[in-house]
Amino acid sequence: MRDYTKFYIDGSWVEPGQAKTLDVINPATEAVAGRIALGTAADVDRAAKAARKAFKSFSRTSREERIELLESIVAEYKKRHEDMAKAITEEMGAPVWLAQRAQAAMGAAHLQTAAAVLKSYKFEEPRGTTLLLKEPIGVCGFITPWNWPVNQISCKVAPALATGCTMILKPSEIAPFSAYIFAEILEAAGVPAGVFNLINGDGPTVGAAISSHPEVDMVSFTGSTRAGIEVARNAAPTVKRVHQELGGKSPNIILEDADLNSAVTGGVKAVMLNSGQSCNAPTRMLVPGKKMEDVIAIARAAAEATIVGDPSGNVAMGPVVSETQWTKIQGLIQKGIDEGATLVAGGTGKPEGLDKGYYVKPTVFANVTNEMTIAKEEIFGPVVSILGYDSVEQAVDVGNDTEYGLAAYVSGTDTGKVLDVAKQLRAGQVSLNGANPDLMAPFGGYKMSGNGREWGDHAFGEFLEVKAVLGMPKQAAAE
């Protein structure tokens, strides 16, 4: 059993301010896998002061020094890749293959991308006799989720380090193991004392303390829209920058000329990936109404082919993260049945033979209308809702008829039509014909899916202030 009851503050593993602990549950077995300490506002204050002290020198480091530091972190990360993957499987139930090839791999990928961007990023821009400087914003507070734990940590920490910021991290108390390994990696790589600090705790206590602390200049939160609103409220009195990556209910528009078998099967698999626990999952599949019966047959086959089970085995889908999530998902599946959607596959209860663990049946509903609860609420589980449309214009209108705007998907063989639909969708990222992720593509949402962008060079701007220096000699300003 893992015992992670110390915090990493000012370059040392220290005792928390109180003795209160929390058990961490393995969602595949429902057994206690470890325990963490729960922090307090006093712990946050200690970390914030350490980060503020470290900022004075770290903000003045050279580009070359930060590149070297990031490359050192990548080297240490590679040594711990297997440890990281095992921790993610244990804490949140990702199948071994997914933990190794995607979950843990993304942590290293963001670090490598930040190092590459840093090599040519322009922190100074001369404009006549004015010099524009992009300077590190200061102390950053990071509050990260449990669904892609190290991915969300790394895509915040990497650009923050690259731009010269210092930080405090509060990972999810539900899946905290990977964050501890990440902290150990940074320590081994020689990150200066106070630059990175780790405190465990819950949102109402530690999260609120980070969001409201006067020494924190910027807070970056990934999680539910409900919690994101609270982060913004807590941050408002100190007028700090707030960056949020929140919920989604992403439309997946399959045009009439698309390869139906490929698009529908791919759409179902994309939702089942990570047990449906991805904010950008294509959970609303919009298809031509006249092809609904064909779509139902393909979607049913894809869902029934999804192997669910012990994540340490050769399965496509493990459990969802907790009993709370399982119960919420069951309630929404039942809501879909009650509101008259056609249950194509799955349904309530656990899959056959899986009595222990928080397993959910791969579920598909058809003949869904956009007024139904399952089309409006973010289920955050392996549930696909299929909606029919009569025209492309209607598909776009329904696709945009949501309070969210994180991602969208379009499939079709006519490139011009696909792109035209993509341009009309109100979402921060639109994937065409099953495109692979792009580490340099900005990730973030419109509307209630948040603000700001992560990943690649666009992430750097979240951690920089712009200073205009007027009255420079023309020659000096041009250098």
Same-domain status, 222 and 193: yes
Report the pLDDT value the prediction gives residue 474, as an integer from 0 to 100: 76
Distance CA 364, CA 357 (A): 21
User: What is the CATH number for 105?
Assistant: 3.40.605.10
Kindly list the distances between the CA atom of residue 49 and the CA atoms of 26, 169, 193, 195, 196, in Å, as whole numbers in the listed order. 34, 14, 12, 11, 12
- pLDDT tens, residue by residue, 91-120: 999 999 999 999 999 999 999 999 999 999
**Residue 479 resides in a domain:** no
122 within a domain of the structure (yes/no): yes
Q: Same structural domain for residues 299 and 325?
A: yes
Same domain, 242 and 258: no
Domain membership flag for residue 320: yes
Cα distance between residue 407 and residue 451, in whole Å = 13
| Per annotation, catalytic residue among 279, 378, 454, 462 | 279
Q: Which of 245, 378, 454, 462 is catalytic?
A: 245
Note whether 45 and 54 are within 8 A (CB).
no
Mean pLDDT (whole number) for 359-370: 98
Instruction: Give the chain's radius of gyration (CA, Å).
Output: 23
What token pair was written down for 368? 């869904």
* Phi, psi angle pair for 62, to nearest 5°: -85, 165
- Does residue 474 form part of some domain? no
Domain hosting residue 413, numbered range:
251-432
Say what the pTM is. 0.96
Q: Is residue 443 part of a domain?
A: no
pLDDT in tens, 42-94: 999 999 999 999 999 999 999 999 999 999 999 999 999 999 999 999 999 99
Q: Are residues 213 and 319 in the same domain?
A: no
Check if the beta carbon of residue 245 is closer than 8 Å to that of residue 224: no
**pLDDT interval class at 477 (50, 70, 90):** low
Residues in the chain: 479
Active site residue 140: no
The domain total for the chain is: 2
Residue 479 has pLDDT above 90, yes or no: no
Structural domain contains residue 440: no
Query: Mind listing the pLDDT tens digit for each residue in 223-252?
Result: 999 999 999 999 999 999 999 999 999 999
180 and 317 housed in the same domain:
no
CA 430 centroid distance within chain: 16
Are 219 and 141 spatial neighbours (Cβ–Cβ below 8 Å)? yes
User: Per-residue pLDDT for 136 more than 70?
Assistant: yes
Whether residue 475 lies inside any domain: the answer is no
Which of 150, 164, 170, 163 has the alpha carbon at shortest distance from 213?
Answer: 170
Sheet holding 130-136, edge to edge: 124-127, 130-136, 464-469
Q: 290: which residues sit within 8 A by CB, 6+ positions away?
A: none
CB proximity list for 210: less than 8 A, separation 6 or greater: 44, 48, 141, 143, 168, 170, 216, 219
**Domain match, 219 and 271 both:** no
Q: 365 and 384 in contact (C-beta within 8 Å)?
A: yes
Q: Between 455 and 475, where is the model more confident?
A: 455
The answer on 274 and 400 residing in a single domain is yes
pLDDT at site 285: 98
pLDDT band at 328 (very low <50, low <70, confident <90, very high): very high
User: Is the domain of 22 the same as that of 162?
Assistant: yes
- 42 and 188 part of one domain: yes
pLDDT band at residue 475 using 50, 70 and 90 as cut-offs: low
Residue 188 and residue 41 share a domain:
yes
Active site residue 245: yes
Q: Sign of the CA dihedral 385, 390, 392, 398?
A: negative
465 confidence band (pLDDT: 50, 70, 90): very high
C-alpha closest to that of 153 among 235, 82, 222: 222
Q: 289 and 182: one domain?
A: no
> Residues 188-193: what's their mean pLDDT?
98
For residue 293, how many other CB atoms are within 10 A of its CB?
A: 8
Beta bridge partners of 140: 167, 218
The domain that contains 394 carries what CATH number? Answer: 3.40.309.10
Residues 202 and 280 in one domain: no
Q: CA separation (Å) from 2 to 23, 103, 320?
A: 10, 20, 21
